[in-house]
Amino acid sequence: MNKQEAILEYTLRIADDSLLLGHRISEWCGHGPILEEDIALTNIALDLIGQATNFFDYAAKVQGEGKTCDDLAFLRLEREYKNVLLVEQKNGHFGDTIARQFFFDVFRKLFFESLSKSTDQDLAAIAEKSLKETRYHLKHSSEWIIRLGDGTQESHDKIQGSVDYLWKFTDELFFMDQVDELLIKENIAVDLTALKANWKSYISEIFQEATLNIPTNGWQQAGGRKGLHSEHMGYALAELQYMQRAYPNMQW
Amino acid sequence: MSSNEWPLWEVFIRSKQGLSHKHVGSLRAADAENAINNARDVYTRRSEGISIWVVESKLISASDPKEADSLFDPADTKIYRHPTFYEVPDGVLHM
């Protein structure tokens, strides 16, 4: 693997995380628990899809095959998507969506803070731009975690259930392989092991306020970064890709 | 209103530095912090503001519309309260 291939793979991982989570959140449009939250979720979905667009544009440039961000977003096969399993999980109820978002937002904020110092100017610039949005996403999901956890007995039990269920997908956020190793040497990629302690301490802090427990079950699920996805991925892609598959090169 | 509904909040947005906050509408939220977040998402999506105030609607005391006659009509005939009788000297701009 050369440097160009590593940057392409690295950029697609970030873009796919944003795309799939943005797609999932967009499924809430018109179904939010209240009007205000419906708009909040739609804003977040748009932010994530905007981030994905920027990263896909850059990936297409690095790839140098004349492809567009739409080609990368809509016309790859399931195993070519490198997002973590966490972001493709179904929305479930509002608590499930918030727990998934919270785990991701905490990671993303730390990640973009570091990536904005990358020696790769494009990645650094997109990270810098995305960081402002991500800070708000984190504020939004953190406050919901606190309110649901420290709310009624029912909301507490539901959000603790969501946390317990999704916990097994969180280790994969810190997945690293030779792609990362190669780029860390060039100060392009972020060393994710360095983020993990901060990730966990922020979560502990919010959970304490929310009267929630960090799950003790140590078993973790992974595969997304290698293109091995959960059963939900195919359905998500079917909906996401339908228009470009049915009407190739369509634009609006 | 059912007791399960969140309280209503009035939202005030300042559009830019130097202007005052203006009432833009209302929304429902569980508490003040939540109300500010909701206001940010509902009322500032298109760069409408740089500052948000929220206040629970029940905390606002309003004048009674039925008293409008006695409260506001008397001012209509007090034309001398408007400073329109002064001669503006030449050279005074922006009046």
- What would the pLDDT profile of B1-17 be if each residue is shown by its tens digit? 456 789 999 999 999 87
Token reading at A57: 């544009």
Mean pLDDT to the nearest integer, B51-79: 91
DSSP character for B13? E
What is the pLDDT of chain A when averaged over all its residues?
Answer: 96
State residue A22's pLDDT score.
Answer: 98
Mean pLDDT to the nearest integer, B36-64: 93
Q: For the ranges A73-77, A105-109, B66-70, which has the lowest average pLDDT?
A: B66-70
**Is A140 within the bounds of a domain?**
yes
Number of domains, chain A: 1
For residue B35, the chain A residue with the least C-alpha distance is A36
**Is A252 within the bounds of a domain?**
no
Q: Quote the CA–CA distance of A149 and A111 in Å, as a whole number.
A: 26
C-alpha angle with apex A195: A194 to A201, nearest 5 degrees? 120
State residue A212's pLDDT score.
Answer: 98
| A140 with B37: Cβ contact below 8 A | yes
DSSP per residue over B23-86, as a string? EEEEEE-SSHHHHHHHHHHHHSTTS--SEEEEEEGGG-----GGGHHHHHHHHHT-GGGS--SS
Mean pLDDT to the nearest integer, A72-93: 97
Q: Quote the CA–CA distance of A9 and A116 in Å, as a whole number.
A: 18
| A39 with B33: Cβ contact below 8 A | no
Q: Quote the CA–CA distance of A87 and A175 in Å, as a whole number.
A: 14
Question: Is A37 part of the contact surface with chain B (CB cutoff 8 Å)?
Answer: yes
**Is A251 within the bounds of a domain?**
no
C-alpha angle with apex A118: A99 to A114, nearest 5 degrees? 35
Token reading at A165: 């269920």
Chain A residues with CB under 8 Å of B31 CB are 147
| B28 with A140: Cβ contact below 8 A | no
State residue B3's pLDDT score.
Answer: 61
Instruction: Name residues 35-54 of chain B within 8 A of A (Cβ).
Output: 37-38, 40-42, 45
Neighbours of A65 (CB within 10 A): 7
**Is A33 within the bounds of a domain?**
yes
CATH code: domain of residue A33: 1.20.1260.10
For residue B40, the chain A residue with the least C-alpha distance is A40
Q: Which residues contact A130 (CB under 8 A, 6 or more apart)?
A: A47, A51, A54, A108, A112
Minimal Cβ distance to A40: which of B28, B33, B41: B41
| A43 with B30: Cβ contact below 8 A | no
Contact A225, A235 (CB under 8 A): no
The CATH number fitting domain B8-81, selected from 3.90.700.10, 3.90.1150.10, 3.10.20.520, 3.40.50.12780: 3.10.20.520
Mean pLDDT to the nearest integer, A77-87: 98
Alpha helices in chain A (DSSP H): 3-26, 35-63, 69-74, 85-88, 94-115, 121-149, 153-166, 178-185, 193-210, 231-246
Distance from the Cα of A36 to chain B's closest Cα (Å) equals 6
**Is A165 within the bounds of a domain?**
yes
C-alpha angle with apex B87: B83 to B89, nearest 5 degrees? 125
| pLDDT band, very low/low/confident/very high, at A188 (cuts 50, 70, 90) | very high
Distance from the Cα of B80 to chain A's closest Cα (Å) equals 47
| pLDDT band, very low/low/confident/very high, at B36 (cuts 50, 70, 90) | very high
Length of chain B: 95
State residue B1's pLDDT score.
Answer: 44
Identify the domain containing residue A157 by its residue range. 3-214+223-246
For helices A121-149 and B32-43, what crossing angle results, to 10°? 140
| pLDDT band, very low/low/confident/very high, at B95 (cuts 50, 70, 90) | low
State residue A142's pLDDT score.
Answer: 97
Q: Quote the CA–CA distance of A137 and B30 in Å, as a whole number.
A: 18
| pLDDT band, very low/low/confident/very high, at B82 (cuts 50, 70, 90) | confident
pTM of the model: 0.88
State residue B87's pLDDT score.
Answer: 81
State residue B92's pLDDT score.
Answer: 82
Q: What are the residue ranges spanned by the domains of chain B?
A: 8-81
Neighbours of A167 (CB within 10 A): 20
State residue B2's pLDDT score.
Answer: 52
Phi then psi dihedrals of residue B87, to 5 deg: -85, 125
Beta bridge partners of B90: none
- Give the ipTM: 0.73
Chain A residues with CB under 8 Å of B42 CB are 35-36, 39
State residue A66's pLDDT score.
Answer: 95
C-alpha angle with apex B11: B46 to A137, nearest 5 degrees? 55
